[in-house]
Amino acid sequence: MTTVIKNARASDGQITDIFIKDGIISEIGLTRSIADKKLDAEGRLVIPGIIDPHVHFRMPGEEYKEDWESGSMAAIAGGVTTVLDMPNNQPPTTTVERFSKKRRMIAGKSYVNYGLYIGATEDNIDELINARGAVGIKIYLGSSTGGLLVRDYKVVERILERATCVVACHSEDEQCLQKIQNAKFKMQNYGTVAEIHDAMRPDECAIESAQKLVAILQKIKKPLYICHVSSPGELAVFLSAKQKGLPIYLEATPHHLFLDIQNSDQLGNFVRVNPPIRSASSRLSLQNALIEGFIDTIGSDHAPHTIDEKNRSYTDSPSGMPGIETILPLMLDFARLKKFTIQNLIRCMCENPARIFGIERRGAIRQGYFADIVIVDQDLTRVVETNRMYTKCGWSAFAGRSITGFPYATIVNGEIAFLRGRIVGNPAGRDVMARN
C-alpha cells in the first residue's frame, strides 16, 4: 500500500510531498510517484504524530471510564499517534504476568501505537527488571488514584540501580502529604475545590520529594523522568540539578500550564488532579520554563473519571481529568499566542519523548521512519465541545474554551485514521516496544 501526502507545509515553511510505502516514509520532496491513495494537505502544516508519554486508559478493571478503543480514538482525534500507558489499573500492573496479560488484552484494539509502564511497589524489584518490553517503570512517591505507592526512598535508589528502562516518578512526598492533610483536614469544608486541594497537597511536598530524588541522583547518575511538574519551587530544585549535569527529564501537562485556582474556581472536582493545579503565578512560571526550553515533554496525564464520580463530595471524588483530545490543540493555540514555536512544540511532543523512552523510528518526519503524521489546520477556531469528543467519560475541563489550531488528519503507521473530524481508519496501532 502506498500513500502520498501532497502540498505539505513543513515547520520551516517549505512545501513538500511525503510518499509512504507499507507504513514507512520512503520519499520526502516534490514527487510525481503514483500512489494508491492521495491526501492533499493544501499547504497545511504537517508535523510528526504526537507521542503522549502519560495516559491512563483504565484497562483492565475500569473500562466504564475508558477503554483502549475509546481512549485511542480520542488520541487520534487529538493528533496523538503514540501513547505510553500507566500501570495504576485494577489490578495494578506490578508483575510480569499482569504486564504480559495487559499487553495481550490491548493487541489489535488500539488506533494508536502504545507502550506500557510497569508499576513499582516496595517489594517487586525483580518483577520490574524482568518485565521485558516495558517502556518505563512508574514510581508513585505520593498516594494517588489506584493505590500504588513507594514510601521508602531507599527502594527508589535500588530500582534506579537495576533499571534497564526509564524510571518515571510521581514526585510528591507521602510523609509530607499525610502530615499536611492531618493538620488541614477541616479545610475540606472551606473555599473552592481547587483551593482546598492545593492546600491539602501543597508544593512543599513536591519540593521535598524533588530534593530527596536529586540526592539519590547525585549518587546514582541514571535517567529519571519527573511526571507533571506543577510548582516553581519543585521546578527550581530540578533545574538546578539539571544544570549540574544530572540526567533529569521534566514533563508538564496542559492542565498545569493553562488552568489555575483563579481561572477554574467554578469547575469543582472536575479540576481535582494530583498534583493539584496551583496559583496563576505557578502556571505562568511553568509556561515561562516551557518557552525557555527547560521542560522536556508535554504529557496529557489523560485520567478520565465519570461525571457521576466527579459530582461526589470532595472527599469521595477521584483525582484526574481527561486531556488527550485537547493536548495538541491547546499547545498549537499556545504556540500561536506566545513565543513557543512550532519547532519547540515538535521537540517537546515528538522528538524528546521518542529519544527519552527509546522509541525507534518515530517522533520525526524522516525517510525510513514510520509514517506517524498529523496534518494541522492552524486557522481553524473552534470551541471545545464535549459532544464532539471520543473519550468515554464525556467531559472536559476545557469545555467552552475557544481554541485555534486542530488536527485536520492523523496518520498512524501510514494509515489515514482521522480526517476532517471523523474516525476513518481501523485499529492499526502497534506496541512500540514489541522488539523486546
Q: Do 2-45+368-378+401-423 and 49-357 fold alike per CATH? A: no
Tell me the pLDDT band of 33, cut-offs 50, 70 and 90.
confident
In 59-151, beta strands by DSSP E: 80-85, 113-119, 136-140
For residue 436, pLDDT beyond 80: no
Among positive and negative, which fits the CA dihedral 49, 53, 57, 60?
positive
pLDDT given at position 320: 97
List of residues 6+ apart from 123 with CB closer than 8 A: none
In whole angstroms, give the CA distance from residue 35 to residue 69.
29
Indicate the residue type of 226. Answer: I
Report residue 189 CA to chain centroid gap: 32
**389: DSSP letter:** -
Report residue 180 CA to chain centroid gap: 28
Catalytic residues: 301
In whole angstroms, give the CA distance from residue 390 to residue 70.
6
For residue 35, pLDDT beyond 90: no
Identify whether the C-beta of residue 297 lies closer than 8 Å to the C-beta of residue 249.
yes
pLDDT given at position 56: 98
Q: Which residues of 29-66 are buried (b: 16+ CB within 10 A; e: fewer)?
A: eeeeeebeeebebeebbbbbbbbbbbbbbbbbebbebb
Which three cell numbers, joined as nine digits, stand for 133?
A: 518490553
> pTM for the whole thing?
0.97
pLDDT digits (tens, 9 = 90+) for 359-404: 999 999 999 999 999 999 999 999 999 999 999 999 999 999 999 9
pLDDT digits (tens, 9 = 90+) for 205-233: 999 999 999 999 999 989 999 999 999 99
Tell me the pLDDT band of 264, cut-offs 50, 70 and 90.
confident
CATH number for 49-357 (one of 3.40.718.10, 3.10.20.30, 2.60.120.10, 3.20.20.140): it is 3.20.20.140
pLDDT given at position 187: 62
Q: Could you state, in order of their start, the residue ranges of all structural domains in the chain?
A: 2-45+368-378+401-423, 49-357
Residue 46: name the closest of 389, 364, 417, 333 by CA.
364
Q: Is 10 exposed, middle or buried (0-12, 13-18, 19+ CB in 10 A)?
A: middle
Q: What is the mean pLDDT of the chain?
A: 95
Name the superfamily (CATH) of residues 2-45+368-378+401-423.
Answer: Urease, subunit C, domain 1 (2.30.40.10)
For residue 419, pLDDT beyond 90: yes
Please state the rounded mean pLDDT for residues 259-263: 93
pLDDT given at position 189: 61
